[in-house]
Amino acid sequence: MGETITLLSKREIEKMRQAGRLAAQLLDHLTPMVKPGVTTLELNDEAEKWTQAHGAISAPLGYHGFPKSICTSVNHVVCHGIPNAKQILKEGDIINIDVTPILDSYHGDTSRTFFVGTPSPLAKRLVEVTEKCLMEAIKTVKPGSRIGDIGAIIQECAEPQGFSVVRDFVGHGVSKVFHTAPQIPHYGKRGKGKKLRSGMVFTIEPMINEGTWEAVILKDGWTAITKDRKLSAQFEHTIAVTETGVEILTLSD
């Protein structure tokens, strides 16, 4: 945690804005494909084709050996699910799609959890609460706030609903580097942690579980699943701390 936090210049934040917009547009482009009968590999291949067509490259592809262009995390997969041809989406599934196109050297990192057909009432509530956790956390961001404030509000949003907050994966600084300082845990105490400053750019990406927060990594070395095999949802935005508050860089038009 002793790493230096880089503050981005206005020019760099404009580059991040462009990459972030592209990431949001990529998720918008994939949205109509998310339906029963589609494989996660089809989503991956369409994302790769679209990314290349827009003059960008997929950051996950080859990152520490990751074999695909996006992450597709279905139902009890917490994160880093690997798209494959045998995984066919079915009615009632939930799927998180996490994309990070690199445009002009800058990373736009965002994810959303989608319903495949009609979700169960519990799955619907989990996904809605997870998105609310993210948006409430973003509202706390401004110069002088603390990193602990972000995690605290996520816990306050999720835990009274009977859900749990994943501890093993965190938000992170992002710019020309995919993952850098600061780390942004999704649990914490108000008033603790590093102070936020204008020019900081990082992701907030809470993973909220139906049951236990504990995760297990599968043999592939990537796929993280809930220890109790219950549902997990996630939403992610890349945000910039501004002089007066916060700007979401990965908002959909």
Closest-CA residue to 8 (of 183, 204, 177): 177
Is 253 annotated in a binding site? The answer is no
Q: Residue for token digits 């369409």? A: 46
Q: What is the CA radius of gyration of the chain?
A: 17
Buried residues in 167-184 as b, exposed as e (16+ CB within 10 A): eebbbbbbbbebbbbbbb
* Helical segments of the chain, H only: 10-30, 40-53, 121-139, 147-158
Closest-CA residue to 118 (of 36, 234, 42): 36
Q: DSSP class of residue 227?
A: T
Is 128 annotated in a binding site? The answer is no
Residue 93 one-letter amino acid: D
Dihedral of alpha carbons 5, 6, 10, 12, sign: negative
Cα–Cα distance for residue pair 64/5, rounded to 1 Å: 22
Would you call the peptide bond into 83 cis, given omega within 30 degrees of 0 as the criterion?
A: no
Is 98 annotated in a binding site? The answer is yes
Is 205 annotated in a binding site? The answer is yes
Is 109 annotated in a binding site? The answer is yes
Is 149 annotated in a binding site? The answer is no
- The CB-side HSE value for 43 (13 A sphere, CA atoms) comes to 33
Residue 163 one-letter amino acid: F
Binding-site sequence positions: 80, 98, 109, 172, 179, 205, 236
Binding-site sequence positions for substrate: 80, 179
Binding-site sequence positions for a divalent metal cation: 98, 109, 172, 205, 236
